[in-house]
Amino acid sequence: MRINKFLADKGVASRRRADEMIQACRVTINGELATLGANVEEGDEVALDGRVLSFEEKKLEYYIMNKPKGVVCTVSDDRGRKTVMDLLPEGVGRVFPVGRLDYATEGLLILTNDGDLSFRLTHPTSEIPKTYMAKIEGTLTEKDLNPIRSGVELDGVLTKKCKAHIVETNKAYTKVHITITEGRNRQVRRMFESIGKNVQLLKRVSIGDLKLKGLDRGQLRPLTEREVAYLQGL
Ligand code: URA
């Protein structure tokens, strides 16, 4: 088995992050520094930061959280800000967030120790639709959304076609439902900035058919078997 898959299976991180850990010289195989793409098998001693990881099975855990704003999606924060890890109740294992919502964004976040699922869901080729409710400062018309629907340039690369429609509008603000299939950094906020609009509030309300509904801010619940099977099939 590839070393990055082994680390993902142990719930250490996604395969991509596992590769970064290997490059940062944090992983050893039988006492030697691991190299990218190395293989491990039963009997090998794999360690991360000096801690040996066993080959035994681990229990896979899957949760859905309503991330509040003012919380970061990393495991630790060098600026001492609150992280989603601080919101995990006792009894929840060593799970980590699947993808990111930025500090000021709230809503649906999946947490798991299933590195493979995390890898697949966040892979740029997966194109899983993610829907957000964006509250924009001021008035907007359906026509104003056309550039956003057809693609705007962010860092020199066009965003993919997406769906967007107005849910409510008045002089003070406009609420837009927007569904994107990518996960670029601060993507929704930057898409609106590119048409001169400021996002005041941003909330992710669904990932594919998985909906946030029914969870209060900061709350989390285990995903049902059906929901896990659905995500595995995406
Ligand atoms: N788009 C954003 O701007 N922020 C997020 O957290 C997610 C999507």
Shared domain check, 84 and 95 = yes
CA of 106 to the centre of ligand 1 (A): 9
pLDDT at 56 > cutoff 80: no
Mean pLDDT of the chain: 93
Q: Read off the pLDDT of each residue in 149-167 and give the average, rounded to a whole number.
A: 97
Domain count, the chain: 3
Backbone angles phi, psi at 213, to 5 degrees: -25, 135
Cβ-contact 70, 56 below 8 angstroms: no
Rounded mean pLDDT, 191-203: 98
Quick one: 33 and 66 in the same domain? Answer: no
- CATH code, domain with 10: 3.10.290.10
pLDDT digits (tens, 9 = 90+) for 72-85: 998 888 899 999 99
Tens digit of each residue's pLDDT (9 = 90 or more) over 114-155? 888 998 899 888 899 999 999 999 999 999 999 999 999 999
Residues 202 and 214 in one domain: no
69/120 same-domain check: yes
Atom 4 of ligand 1 has which residue's CA nearest to it?
A: 186
∠ Cα 31 35 39 (to 5°): 85
| Mean pLDDT confidence for 32-61 | 87
- Does residue 210 contact residue 203 with C-beta atoms inside 8 Å? no
Q: Are residues 31 and 73 in the same domain?
A: no
* pTM listed for this prediction: 0.80
Statement to judge: residues 160 and 186 lie in one domain = yes
Could you say which DSSP state residue 219 is in? -
Judgement on whether residues 92 and 42 belong to the same structural domain of the protein: no
Range of the domain at 66: 62-125+210-232
Rounded Cα distance between 210 and 35, Å, is 37
Question: Which of 105, 128, 148, 206 to mutate for ligand 1's pocket (most ligand atoms within 8 Å of CB)?
Answer: 105
Tell me how many degrees the CA angle 173-208-216 measures, rounded to the nearest 5: 60
102 a catalytic residue: yes
